[in-house]
Amino acid sequence: MDQIPPSQGVRFVTFNINGFRTLFHYHPWTKLRTLGAMFSSMQADIITLQELKVAPMDVDNRLGKVPGYNCFITVPLQKKGYSGVGVYVRCPLEDDPPPVKLALTVVRAEEGITGSLLSKDTKQRYSELPASIGGYVNLDDDIASRIDSEGRCLILEMANNTVIISVYCPANSMGTEEGEQFRVQFIECLFQRVRNLVSMGKNVVLMGDINISKDLIDSAVAIRDMTQAGLVRIAAKHEDFEEVNRDACLKFTSSTVPRLLLNELLMDSMSSGTFPDQSNGVLIDTVRRVQGRKKGLYTVWNTLTNSRPGNFGSRIDYILVNEKLAMQTKNAGIWPFLMGSDHCPVFTDFNVETVDSEFIGLEGLKLPRLEARFAFNLSRGDIGKFFTKKETPSPSSTHSSQILTKSKVVKPANMSKSKGINRNRSNIMSFFKPVSHDSDLCSVVSAVPESNGEISSKKVLENGKFKLSGDIPKCKHNEECVLKTAMTSENKGRKFWTCCKPRGEVKDPDDESKFDCGFFQWK
């Protein structure tokens, strides 16, 4: 896999954090403590977060005023502490090349999908603005209001003709008829807006929690159930699973309406052209483009059954792009070793190109008023700082608003002078394993499960790539250890190896082989 030139690289990351309040209870975020430090450790340029789970009055400086980033947040007005989406865009630096500056410059921003909500700038509907993003879908006002009522979507247009759609799609977890109707309406509207934008000539990035496993290999539960029912066979090699069970895998892609709609949207769906209306896709799955048809690339796991250590999960978080952007994809994958949620982050690295833009050469543009400092009145400071414990400052301590090509940019404090993705002092892997200071951090690829489906966080950077750094340790019984998760407040979420034997009282020498030998080792 080619490495991204540091001068041209832009990294996109999406992460369903399942609640902002609990994120920093998990390793390694217990040590980083701020979103700014978290983003810098991921070396992320554009980050989308889902399930913030905060009310409007709870959006404070920690969430909406991240040094070195422009922040956009939407939260539901009715359901308090529910849903919520954030988009964070790194402020362009003076020594960023022009293509990167354009890629990081926000020129328009909207809440919702339908364009029916009111702009923070003019108090008009987004769809009625003279300089709107466009691509709106004709809907009944009541349906449009319902779709945009839960703080599930933010849409940003960048100066390089790219539209970023950050979304948290409904799942209908209660299984109600009303919930499924809303889910299908939401997805149909979202996907039609995507199609409209692509047809307008826009580059489109659809990223976030789509809440759909599009293929059978994306759902461990479905594979288990269909195997037990005798509908599929386990292949000798994981990569042969779809070939051995092709008919069942194709049938799965249209087994529900949301799944059918997602596969229709994709140019690279395995069912493209197989079923009616499945040959007009407009987006490409970046992770599949880079990682191929591997099993086990799951992004969410059931915490109640502790299914993450055994990698029994599903893939519902995506970064999907149009064909032109897909050609610029250099790396993409998942980071299952990063805790903080029942989900894990998904990333894609792009080598951005020079484009013709109406914004080249301008001295600067005003940020859309949807930026969190304006939308939530954060400019005057956060009263919470008088009552909370002082936190360690993030790697960048000065918030610099976006500046275009000719304007001078003040660099955030403590940020290195290198360009593109490889610009920060620390990398997230330093919290798991020491890394060489001369590693090429700008070309990090995903740490994906091996063919046996197991996840390992014992990874180091070597030649710019993650690799396994050792086998499963053996305990004093000379048997392979089991992997467990720490639940203490100090180390919550950290993994450790321990003896596979149960605990028990050793009354005679024979008992020593039956019970826990006391072996312990952090992973």
The residue among 40, 41, 43, 39 whose CA lies nearest residue 11 is 43
Residue 335 tokens read as 């980071």
Do 107 and 431 contact (CB within 8 A), yes or no? no
Do 485 and 495 contact (CB within 8 A), yes or no? yes
Angle at 23 between CA 19 and CA 26, to 5 degrees: 140
> How many angstroms separate the CA atoms of 459 and 437, rounded?
16
- DSSP letters, 301-335, are E-TTTT-TTTT-EE--EEEEEEHHHHTTEEEEEE-
168 is catalytic: yes
Residue 355 tokens read as 């484009």
> Among residues 26, 168, 298, 318, which one is catalytic?
168
Dihedral sign (CA 240, 246, 248, 251): positive
> Among residues 209, 215, 218, 317, which one is catalytic?
209
For 396, list phi and psi in degrees, rounded to 5. Answer: -120, 120
Peptide bond into 98 cis (omega under 30): no
Ligand-binding annotation for 440, yes or no, is no
Dihedral sign (CA 215, 219, 225, 227): positive
Ligand-binding annotation for 25, yes or no, is no
> Among residues 148, 343, 349, 399, which one is catalytic?
343
CB atoms within 10 A of CB 188: 16
Q: Which DSSP symbol is given to 252?
A: H
Do 516 and 499 contact (CB within 8 A), yes or no? yes
Residue with structure tokens 């990063």?
Answer: 338
CB atoms within 10 A of CB 143: 16
Three-state DSSP state, 220: helix
> How many angstroms separate the CA atoms of 124 and 106, rounded?
20
Ligand-binding annotation for 45, yes or no, is no
> How many angstroms separate the CA atoms of 443 and 405, rounded?
26
The residue among 284, 295, 194, 200 whose CA lies nearest residue 241 is 295
Neighbour-count burial for 500-518, b at 16+ CB within 10 Å, e otherwise: ebeeeeeeeeeeeeebbbe
Ligand-binding annotation for 427, yes or no, is no
- DSSP letters, 400-453, are -----TTS--PPPTT--S--TT---S--GGGGTS---TTS-GGG-------TT-
Q: Say how far residue 153 (Cα) sits from the centre of its chain.
A: 14
Residues 6+ apart with CB under 8 A from 32: 24, 38, 41
238 is catalytic: no
Three-state DSSP state, 127: helix
Residue list, annotated binding site:
16, 51, 209, 211, 342-343
Residue list, annotated binding site for Mg(2+):
16, 51, 209, 211, 342-343
Catalytically active residues are: 168, 209, 343
